[in-house]
Amino acid sequence: MNPNPLPHLQLELDKLKACIHCGICLPACPTYKVTGSEAESPRGRLYLMKKLLEGQLAPEAVKPHLDQCLACHGCETVCPSGVQYGKLLLSTREDMAQQDTSGLRAFKRLIFSQVLPNHGLLVLGGQLLRLYQRSGLQKMVRQLGLLNIAPSLAHQEGLLPEIPARKALRAGAGFGDPTGETVALLTGCVMDIFYNPVHWDTIEVLAANGYWVVIPEQGCCGALAHHAGETDITRQLAEALVEKTLKVNPQWIVVNSAGCGSSMKEYGHLLATNSLIAEKAALFSERLVDVMELLAKKPLAPFKNYAMHETVTYHAACHLYHVQKVKQEPMQLLAQIPGVTLVPLTQMEACCGSAGIFNVEHPELSGEILDVKMEHLQTACHQGGASTVITGNPGCMLQLEKGIQDSHLPMQVRHPVSILAQAYRSPQSTTPLNPKRTPQ
């Protein structure tokens, strides 16, 4: 029997003691706001971790409350004591995952280790989904209510956006000015299948600003595994990604998915004990930036399209705003685009309820959190005139598209780099919008 079933949490004991139980985190916590339960708040969860560590509570009594945390890190932004809640949560999840022998955990590990890193399989899956949508089969399935017998499957199917025709990005391809700073673009898993046009928009904007964009050989970053506490899988994927990416010797490593970026910026810490790759991992994390973070480092190149007339509002993805601390840069860049009016979104930094696969695992709670976000979006739309909501994370894009569809709100969801790409095109050129969800 393991004498210390919580070795990772034990190492974080000082961080756990930092909480003074002031309660300032409560209004910043999405799950507390919709449940009103102390056990679903950061303060409450830290208390549960403490009792778990002291042996006063069993793991099965604590796990449901930790599982229902979105890991949005909103509590860290407002905490006056600087409690590193995210590290405590991940350490506890890692310890508890190692004690979990369920079939569900085995299935998730299979997805994290074998499916997500298999890009060819993901592309095939995307093509089949596109065929399902464009053949009329999806329309028939929905009209006949064939998925109603399996509510969970119906919910997952309802989250699907319209799958775009995918234009592949081959490893080794380069775009832009070869004399400019070299940028390695990481294309990810979900982003490349569901929002592939965003990658081409990213390339277009970076090239317009003088960068040389290179597509390195790459694989899954392990963010979803990391979020679930399966850090052994994350480390394996991280080691491979670090080695492959640094081969192109980039000055910058760019990602346009906030959730992936937040995990990859932790590679230096995650791989610090591996002497064979620790130095490379630290270099990788040091050079990794969100695309909006990089573009904000210097003045933007002149725009071409001065015929734009679009009113937008900005939803700050949690893992960009709270974790990576990229807060004002996206709005500052959007404000520079001629013809674009930016209207404020109440509690723009509040979680939308996506949180990786949270909206799949906890659809009801996720939906309640989304309802709060939709109230604010309705205000931005009906009172502010916003017809577009901007956000920099694929999970948020999926979630907000679902909310907009269900609310019948006359809005679309776009990535901020896609708005910039539109501004760099001549007014006569066609501007493909991000895929919209197929109406149910």
Within a domain: 439: no
Same-domain status, 94 and 118: no
Within a domain: 349: yes
Residue type, 245: T
pLDDT at 435: 35
Q: What residues contact residue 170 under an 8 Å CB cut-off, 6+ apart?
A: 215
Same-domain status, 287 and 185: yes
**For residue 413, which of 373, 369, 357 has the smallest C-alpha distance?**
373
Instruction: Label residue 214 by pLDDT band (50, 70, 90).
Output: very high
Same-domain status, 277 and 315: no
pLDDT at 3: 55
Q: Name 290's bridge partners.
A: 255
Same-domain status, 243 and 226: yes
Cα(177)–Cα(241) distance, rounded to whole angstroms? 25
Of 41-55, 56-70, 146-160, minimum mean pLDDT range: 146-160
Within a domain: 300: no
pLDDT at 428: 60
Please classify residue 50 by burial: count the beta carbons closer than 10 Å to its beta carbon, then call 0-12 exposed, 13-18 middle and 19+ buried.
middle
Cα(321)–Cα(347) distance, rounded to whole angstroms? 12
Instruction: Label residue 1 by pLDDT band (50, 70, 90).
Output: very low
Within a domain: 433: no
What is the three-state SS of the chain? CCCCCCHHHHHCHHHHHCCCCCCCCHHHCHHHHHHCCHHHCHHHHHHHHHHHHCCCCCHHHHHHHHHCCCCCCHHHHHCCCCCCHHHHHHHHHHHHHHCCCCHHHHHHHHHHHHHCCCHHHHHHHHHHHHHHHHCCHHHHHHHHCCCCCCHHHHHHHHCCCCCCCCCCCCCCCEEECCCCCEEEEECCCHHHHHCHHHHHHHHHHHHHCCCEEECCCCCCCCHHHHHCCCHHHHHHHHHHHHHHHHCCCCCEEEECCHHHHHHHCCHHHHCCCCCCCHHHHHHHHHHEEEHHHHHCCCCCCCCCCCCCCEEEEECCCHHHHHHCCCCCHHHHHHCCCCCEEEECCCCCCCCCCCCCCHHHHCHHHHHHHHHHHHHHHHHHHHCCCCCEEECCCHHHHHHHHHHHHHHCCCCEEECHHHHHHHHHCCCCCCCCCCCCCCCC
Instruction: Label residue 305 by pLDDT band (50, 70, 90).
Output: confident
The 388-390 sheet, strands edge to edge: 340-343, 310-314, 388-390, 412-414
What is the arithmetic mean of pLDDT over 392-404? 94
- Residue that terminates a domain, selected from 80, 100, 120: 100
Same-domain status, 233 and 246: yes
Condensed to tens digits (0 to 9), the pLDDT of residues 227-256 reads 999 999 999 999 999 999 999 999 999 999
Same-domain status, 145 and 184: no
Same-domain status, 259 and 244: yes
pLDDT at 438: 39
Instruction: Label residue 12 by pLDDT band (50, 70, 90).
Output: confident
pLDDT at 432: 45
pLDDT at 144: 85
Condensed to tens digits (0 to 9), the pLDDT of residues 71-130 reads 999 999 999 999 999 999 999 999 999 888 899 999 999 999 999 999 999 999 999 999
Same-domain status, 89 and 114: no
What is the arithmetic mean of pLDDT over 289-310? 92
What is the arithmetic mean of pLDDT over 264-293? 95
Cα–Cα separations (whole angstroms), residue 301 to 45, 305, 392: 47, 12, 21
pLDDT at 265: 95
Do 63 and 45 form a contact (C-beta atoms < 8 A)? no
Query: How many other CB atoms are found less than 10 A from the CB of residue 151?
Result: 10
Mean pLDDT of the chain: 91
Distance from chain centroid for Cα 407: 23
Same-domain status, 285 and 210: yes
pLDDT at 433: 38
Within a domain: 303: no
Q: Is the pLDDT of residue 217 over 80?
A: yes
Same-domain status, 285 and 180: yes
The fraction of the chain above a pLDDT of 70, given in percent, is: 96
Instruction: Label residue 440 by pLDDT band (50, 70, 90).
Output: very low
Within a domain: 164: no
Half-sphere exposure at residue 315, Cβ-oriented, CA atoms within 13 angstroms: 37
Instruction: Label residue 434 by pLDDT band (50, 70, 90).
Output: very low
Do 361 and 333 form a contact (C-beta atoms < 8 A)? no
- Residue that terminates a domain, selected from 100, 134, 149: 100
Same-domain status, 108 and 96: no
Q: Which domain holds residue 390?
A: 310-424
Within a domain: 194: yes
Do 290 and 256 form a contact (C-beta atoms < 8 A)? yes
pLDDT at 250: 97
- Residue that terminates a domain, selected from 236, 265, 295: 295
**For residue 28, which of 347, 433, 340, 337 has the smallest C-alpha distance?**
347
Condensed to tens digits (0 to 9), the pLDDT of residues 138-174 reads 899 888 888 888 887 888 888 888 899 989 899 999 9
- Residue 273 corresponds to which tokens in the numbers above? 């004990």
Within a domain: 199: yes
Domain of 71, CATH number, reads: 1.10.1060.10
Same-domain status, 86 and 134: no
What is the arithmetic mean of pLDDT over 36-60? 92
Number of domains in the chain: 4
Condensed to tens digits (0 to 9), the pLDDT of residues 344-381 reads 999 999 999 998 888 889 999 999 999 999 999 999 99
